Structure 1
Amino acid sequence: MIRSRKLRYSLLLLGSVMALGAIIAEDRTRLLERSLFQANQAREDKAPDGSLWLADYHAVRQAQPIEGISDDLSALTYDPQSKTLFSLTNQREKLVQLSLDGKVLRTIPLSGFDDPEAVEYVGPGTFVVADERNLRLHLIKVGDDTRAIDAAQGRQLTLEGDSGGNKGLEGSAYDPSTDTLFLAKERDPLQIFEVNGFTRDGQAGQASVTANPARDGGLFVSDLSSLFFHAPTGHLFALSDESGVLLELDEHGQPVSSLSLSEGEHGLDEDVPQAEGVTMDAEGNIYLVSEPNLFYVFSKRQG
């Protein structure tokens, strides 16, 4: 009996060591692929046709603390109607409206949500908030006079599957031309879901959810923390906190450019500590927030 228990313990230990070795090997492979991609990008003398080309971006505002927010800042989206940004705090749950220079304009308490981690503008006064742990989407309305938001008052959709605890939905993006909502699952496995038919009136109950394993398997990052969609190019942008990089993905899901979030890259004085949200305005400026409460802006060099 003792020998049998020892054998089971040895097999479990061997299995754990092999699994850990596989994870380390996979992370090293991703790091090598990312390093080679960034080295090749540095050698390019011009942007590929149809690319936004993140290599040309540099930090014009960095590590600016957002006054009035002490911690837990997560997600970012641009509202073209008000020309402001919206973010979330997910512990004391609030929707936060920011100016383009990182000032808090107002905070709106949220109730009935479960760990909100992503917010996305999908139309005038309309946003989608994603709960990380229960994989639930909420369609909410936000007006100039909105003082509080109750999840029960809006449309909801729960995605099937296991969130993996604190490794569920972390980012979102929206393509209005196809009514496609992109949702990033952080990791284990890293995935980008595509949801159609949820955001527009009259389509409740007709939503479909698809995935693209070929695209997701080709992403050389270890996690996903945010997304945004760039309509002029039709490209999706994926932010990774752990890998410290923003990727531009073409219409086939292939990386075409990247922006490193490491010290010394793109004018950064220090590493971005924990990148949690990214978006872009109508002028092509990229906005990024990092926990606990830091604000960044990247602009494209002219000429």
Structure 2
Amino acid sequence: MRPVLKWISTALAGAALLLAVAVGQHLHLFEQTLFHFSQWRQADRLQEVSLWLPGYRADIQAQVVEGIDDDLSALTFDPDRNSLIAITNGKPQLLELSLDGKLSRAIPLVGFGDPEAIEYISRGVYVISDERLQRLLRVEVSERTESIDAAASQQLSLGIGQNGNKGFEGLAYDVAGKRLFVAKERDPVRIYEVEGFPYAEDDQPLGVHVSEDRERDADLFVRDLSSLQYDQQTGHLLALSDESRLVVELDIHGKAISALSLKAGDHGLEADVPQAEGIAMGPDGTIYLVSEPNLFYVFRKAD
């Protein structure tokens, strides 16, 4: 009987090991561990050439945005208004928030199926992504705007790897290079680069070019992508993952070089960020973040 019990014990141990390995691969735990070790080992050098996310601390955390019940999603910084622009997708609205997270304006979005991301392009011009339909819409907003109709907007449809509710979840814009970065949430995680959209209101598009970097995307050790932010000064891209509770800084070659954890105990956070959906950055490097249902965070570089 003992040999049988020994065999069963060995089999169970082997199964447990295989299960642990499978879980680790699914959660990208091994890649994250290797990355954090590399980040620590190269800290002195990387601080000089990056935003260096480990140096950020939570200044405002889990602050409820009054006037919003649920579905606060996406975020972008508007340098002309010195404010933050967000959207909600349950009851589609474009929102304007102050830099301390106070709601100052709400504009209904008409004809938008599932708006998940918004990005500032130029004065009064934004791009909104409609996740399930995988379309990008150029919208204009002025002080007189009372509603925004999708039917009256320039649109670009990208039927790439359609997968139900796992479509375009994040946007970022490179003003100098006129590149729009579009994040596909998962299955698989992808970051597309779109050139030629949006275009000036009265111009016809001369051509739209869509590209991707599969090698970079394959190395992303996050389970999903919720939002993107492009830093004009360094040319680096910030990728926000809700499920991995991470913000990852990618250099100009798409290599991960620093990260900000959104878990309790890290960067001064008292609790996990529950469902991070949008990230934006001000010209001074301050990072703003929103989480469903209606929470607001600010991270600043520690002195």
Query: Fold conserved (TM > 0.5)?
Result: yes
Tell me the alpha carbon deviations over residues 42-69 of structure 1, each in whole angstroms, 9 at most, x when there is no partner: 4555352321100100000000000000
Aligned to 2:275: 274
Aligned to 2:7: none
Question: Is the 8 Å Cα contact of residues 223 and 241 (structure 1) preserved in structure 2?
Answer: yes
AA in 1 matched with 2:248: L
Unaligned 5+ segments in structure 2 are: 1-18
Aligned to 2:33: 35
Aligned to 1:163: 162
Aligned to 1:111: 110
Tell me the alpha carbon deviations over residues 229-266 of structure 1, each in whole angstroms, 9 at most, x when there is no partner: 00000001100000000000000100010000000000
Distance (Å, rounded) in 1 between the aligned partners of 2:43 and 2:58: 20
Q: 1:52 to 1:25 in 2, by over 3 A?
A: closer
Question: Is the 8 Å Cα contact of residues 31 and 221 (structure 1) preserved in structure 2?
Answer: no
Aligned to 2:288: 287
Aligned to 2:151: 152
Q: 1:44 to 1:269 in 2, by over 3 A?
A: farther
Distance (Å, rounded) in 2 between the aligned partners of 1:71 and 1:83: 24
Q: 1:248 to 1:264 in 2, by over 3 A?
A: same
Unaligned 5+ segments in structure 1 are: 1-19
AA in 2 matched with 1:246: V
Distance (Å, rounded) in 2 between the aligned partners of 1:23 and 1:140: 44
Distance (Å, rounded) in 2 between the aligned partners of 1:170 and 1:262: 21
Residue 189 (structure 1) shift: 1.0
Question: Is the 8 Å Cα contact of residues 24 and 30 (structure 2) preserved in structure 1?
Answer: no
Distance (Å, rounded) in 1 between the aligned partners of 2:300 and 2:158: 36
Distance (Å, rounded) in 2 between the aligned partners of 1:88 and 1:45: 36
Q: 1:31 to 1:107 in 2, by over 3 A?
A: same
Aligned to 1:187: 186
Q: Is 1:263 the equivalent of 2:264?
A: yes
Question: Is the 8 Å Cα contact of residues 128 and 140 (structure 1) preserved in structure 2?
Answer: yes
Residue 112 (structure 1) shift: 1.2
Aligned to 1:220: 221
Tell me the alpha carbon deviations over residues 178-217 of structure 1, each in whole angstroms, 9 at most, x when there is no partner: 1100000000111001100112313526211111101100
Question: Is the 8 Å Cα contact of residues 132 and 163 (structure 1) preserved in structure 2?
Answer: no
Q: Is 1:174 the equivalent of 2:180?
A: no
Question: Is the 8 Å Cα contact of residues 98 and 104 (structure 2) preserved in structure 1?
Answer: yes
Q: 1:25 to 1:301 in 2, by over 3 A?
A: closer
Tell me the alpha carbon deviations over residues 122-151 of structure 1, each in whole angstroms, 9 at most, x when there is no partner: 111000000000100000001111110001
Q: Secondary structure at the match of 1:46?
A: helix
Aligned to 1:92: 91
Residue 152 (structure 1) shift: 1.2
Identity %: 52
Question: Is the 8 Å Cα contact of residues 47 and 53 (structure 1) preserved in structure 2?
Answer: no
Question: Is the 8 Å Cα contact of residues 191 and 212 (structure 2) preserved in structure 1?
Answer: yes
Q: 1:212 to 1:22 in 2, by over 3 A?
A: farther
Tell me the alpha carbon deviations over residues 63-95 of structure 1, each in whole angstroms, 9 at most, x when there is no partner: 000000010010000000000001110011000
Q: 1:237 to 1:67 in 2, by over 3 A?
A: same
Distance (Å, rounded) in 2 between the aligned partners of 1:25 and 1:263: 20
Distance (Å, rounded) in 1 between the aligned partners of 2:157 and 2:107: 23
Aligned length: 282
Q: Is 1:204 the equivalent of 2:202?
A: no
Residue 228 (structure 1) shift: 0.4
Residue 36 (structure 1) shift: 2.4
AA in 2 matched with 1:194: E
Q: Secondary structure at the match of 1:34?
A: helix
Aligned to 1:3: none
Length-normalised TM-score, structure 2: 0.89
Aligned to 2:238: 237
AA in 2 matched with 1:285: T
Q: Secondary structure at the match of 1:36?
A: helix
Question: Is the 8 Å Cα contact of residues 197 and 203 (structure 1) preserved in structure 2?
Answer: no
